Amino acid sequence: MITVPHYGSDAIAGTSQGKHNGADAEEAARRLSQRLLAIVEGCAEETFVVEPGSWRFQLVNRQARESLGYHAADFRHLSLTDIIPGFSAAHLDIIHQKMCQATPPELDLESFFQRMNGSTYSVRLRMRLLTGEPALVVVSASDITETTRAETIIQRQALYDTVTSLPNRTLFHDRLRRTLEGHGAELDGGAVLLISIDNLAFVNDGIGPAAADELVREVAGRLSNAVRVRDTVARLSDTEFAVLTVHLEQQQDAAALAERILTDLRKPVSLTNYQVVVPAVIGISTFPQDGTDADTLLSNAHAALQGAREDAAINYRFFTCALNTLVKNRVAINSGLSGAMERREFSLVYQPKVDIASWQILGVEALLRWRNFDLGAVPPDQFVPVLERTGLISEVGSWVLETACRQRRILKDAGFDKVRMAVNLSVKQVRRDFLGTLAAVLVNTGLTPADIELEITESVIVRDGQAAVGLLREIAAMGIHISMDDFGCGYSSLSHLRRLPLETIKIDRSFINDIASDADDAEIVKAIISMGHALRHRVVAEGVETVQQLAALRRMGCDEIQGYLFSPPVSGEELLTLLANAEDAPA
């Protein structure tokens, strides 16, 4: 019974009224039904009458037709599911059952309608079941798009900072709480960094509030760029930002992040007609060490921030005292390294790699040393990361390459033709301009590509996958050997090994340490060796110190060893003596 288009006709049968006789009663019922239809038709709410089960339309009023963009006749071919894409017939049947059980038999819902042109709008629905024969469902709908939008805006204002769109204090606190709760007993390491910026009041008063907002947005952008995707950046108050960083392997990583942020913030911000710098200080609390609940961590980060404000020498501080010594050290290393090249504070030492079967020296690895007047000898594990962060690594790395190649030239001239010179290559050096440096050094020192080898770590490929692989393939195509350093302690991915043009893999010395006593380490080393051989790579064990380790590695079929057992790293002159003695010694 499609009655929709025939408003004003006999769409709904009226009931007979006792005081009328025959034709009069019928006429009265017809007029009543016309009036009822007119009332529904003129209703401000979108109103539909549908048949439960088929959910086809029996009646659709003007407001509904206009909102949905259909003509009255279109509804003959449609059912309720066509305009509520979120509901299938099965959904509607469940709603029908619920209405049957409810008193009065009605239900309120929120969903969205789809117009004829495909666009949608949010609606609040009241569905009322009219029992009897036939049963009908009256659906009245009101458009709540504006209300929903307003609610969203209010919600955003409650949780986000309006200037930067970053989470505000409430949301940050909530995220921190959830992170801490979510991890339970196996709480992964992480940190809260509170960053306090200066100069905002100066910009606000001196240039104007619009410029101050621009400055704050720039700071927000730089902070967001400095962190990883899974970290949270928030604005807690006018001048205070916060970062929640998770899954830290070591607490020092939080120091590296703080330094990165401070370096980024140090670059001047261009505001209309002005260049402004944004001095900042950072307070850090780490978890689980400094607390396992949000309030404690925030208050400890505050205490650290206060400490950073008071200490003119450094601009970030940890809550934990021991870590502050580390910070001071890093600051000293940072300043010590600037000018270290000019002061000729760097040198190289060389450590042999020997064939496990013939005990012949097949190559040497050049290792960088730094001796500073104030700091003394600083281990490379402490200063190489700083060189990388400050960008000094490309200059120092080129110097290492050139010095190592000159040493290789000396060895060659002394008749040691087969000893390949290996140089460690930082991830930051794997850039296109390195090819030029490499070619120039080879020409200048009169070496062939086969004379040298580059040691890379997996971070090269993890960081800048495709481009790095392409560049390394070009280097390998020149005839230069490439080896994977420290294998086993990084991502140790088989797919990395297959993608890279490697000759050799070097097993990290942490596995070699206990190889003779720890069955797990022995199994890992065995697996790395057989995997390396399956991929036709030579396998070198790093850090071999004892004959027991050597014996175990021999049994496992390792090809070469490097370590104190044969020789520690030695100076260039000592290396010549070592090579001469090794040549004289019986195999």
DSSP-assigned beta bridge partners for residue 282 = 195, 316
Concatenated DSSP letters of 141-172: EEE-HHHHHHHHHHHHHHHB-TTT--B-HHHH
The nearer residue to Mg ion, 29 or 505, going by C-beta atoms, is 505
Q: How far is the CB of 388 from ligand C2E (least distance, A)?
A: 8
Gyration radius of the chain over CA positions:
38
Alpha helices in 168-251 (DSSP H): 169-183, 200-206, 209-226
Contact call for residue 376 and ligand C2E (CB under 6 A):
no
CA distances from 332 to 99, 291, 325 (A): 75, 29, 11
| Residue 563 contact among ligand C2E, Mg ion, none, beta carbon within 5 to 8 Å by kind | ligand C2E
Q: Residue 423 CB, nearest distance to ligand C2E (Å)?
A: 6
Residue 34, amino acid: Q
Min dist CB 405 to ligand C2E, Å, is 13
Which CB sits closer to Mg ion, 284 or 507?
A: 507
Contact flag: residue 400 with ligand C2E (CB under 6 A): yes
Residues at the interface with Mg ion (CB under 5 A):
424, 455, 485-486, 542
Kindly tell me which of 50 and 378 has the beta carbon lying closer to ligand C2E.
378
Residue 483 binding target from Mg ion, ligand C2E, none, CB below 5 to 8 Å by type: none
The least CB distance from residue 455 to Mg ion, in Å, is 4
- Cβ neighbours around 118 below 10 Å, total: 8
Among residues 563, 572, 575, 582, which is the contact residue for ligand C2E, using CB under 6 A? Answer: 563
Of positions 192, 234, 368, 386, contacts ligand C2E by CB under 6 A: 368
Backbone angles phi, psi at 192, to 5 degrees: -110, 125
- Least Å distance between CB 268 and ligand C2E? 31
Cβ closer to Mg ion: 251 or 424? 424
b/e 297-320 (16+ beta carbons within 10 angstroms → b): bbebbbbbbebbeeeeebbbbbbb
Residue from the set 41, 240, 264, 545 that interacts with ligand C2E by CB under 6 A:
545
Which one among 8, 16, 564, 583 touches ligand C2E, defined by CB under 6 A? Answer: 564
Closest CA to 489 of 515, 508, 516: 508
DSSP state at residue 449 = G
Question: Considering the rule CB under 6 A, would residue 345 count as an interface residue with ligand C2E?
Answer: no
User: Considering the rule CB under 6 A, would residue 521 count as an interface residue with ligand C2E?
Assistant: no
Give the shortest CB-164-to-Mg ion separation in angstroms. 43
Q: How far apart are CA 321 and CA 304, in angstroms?
A: 10
Task: Choose, by CB under 6 A, the member of 58, 245, 424, 483 that binds ligand C2E.
Answer: 424
Sign of CA dihedral 170, 173, 175, 181: negative
* CA 563 to centroid of chain Cα atoms: 37
Work out whether 310 is an interface residue with ligand C2E (CB under 6 A).
no
Query: For Mg ion, which is the closer residue by CB, 308 or 423?
Result: 423
Q: Label residue 204 exposed, middle or buried (CB < 10 Å: 0-12, 13-18, 19+).
A: middle
- For 392, the 3-state DSSP assignment is coil
For residue 403, the partner it binds in Mg ion, ligand C2E, none, with Cβ less than 5 to 8 A by kind, is none
Q: Which stretch binds ligand C2E (CB under 6 A): 2-10, 112-120, 314-322, 540-548?
A: 540-548
Q: Does 208 bind ligand C2E (CB under 6 A)?
A: no
SS3 percent helix, strand, coil of the chain, rounded to 5, is 50, 20, 30
* Closer residue to Mg ion (CB): 33 or 403: 403
The secondary structure of residue 451, as a DSSP letter, is G
Q: In what order do the strands lie in the sheet with 106-114?
A: 57-60, 46-50, 136-143, 120-130, 106-114
Compute the least distance from the CB of residue 151 to ligand C2E, in Å: 55
Q: Which of 379, 415, 436, 586 binds ligand C2E (CB under 6 A)?
A: 379
Identify the H or E element spanning 371: strand 361-372
Angstrom distance (rounded) from CA 155 to CA 342: 58
For the bound state, the minimum distance from the C-beta of residue 512 to ligand C2E, rounded and expressed in Å, comes to 8
| Amino acid identity, position 269 | V
To 5 degrees, how large is the angle CA 461–CA 463–CA 469? 30
Choose the contact partner of 407 out of Mg ion, ligand C2E, none; CB within 5 to 8 A by kind: none
Residues paired with 506 in a beta bridge:
540
Q: What is the DSSP letter of 358?
A: T
Q: Least distance from C-beta 352 to ligand C2E, angstroms?
A: 10
Among the listed ranges 72-80, 151-159, 375-383, 489-497, the one in contact with ligand C2E (CB under 6 A) is: 375-383
Q: Name which of residues 438 to 497 contact ligand C2E (CB under 6 A).
A: 455, 485-486
One residue of 192, 284, 384, 558 binding ligand C2E per CB under 6 A:
384
Interface of this chain with ligand C2E, residues 227 to 246, rule: CB under 6 A: none
Q: Which of 58, 168, 324, 426 binds ligand C2E (CB under 6 A)?
A: 426
When the beta carbons of 542 and 560 are compared against ligand C2E, the nearer one is: 542
Cβ of residue 568: shortest distance to ligand C2E, in angstroms? Answer: 7
Q: Which residues of this chain interact with ligand C2E, rule CB under 6 A?
A: 351, 367-368, 379-381, 384, 400, 424, 426, 455, 485-486, 509, 542-545, 562-564, 569
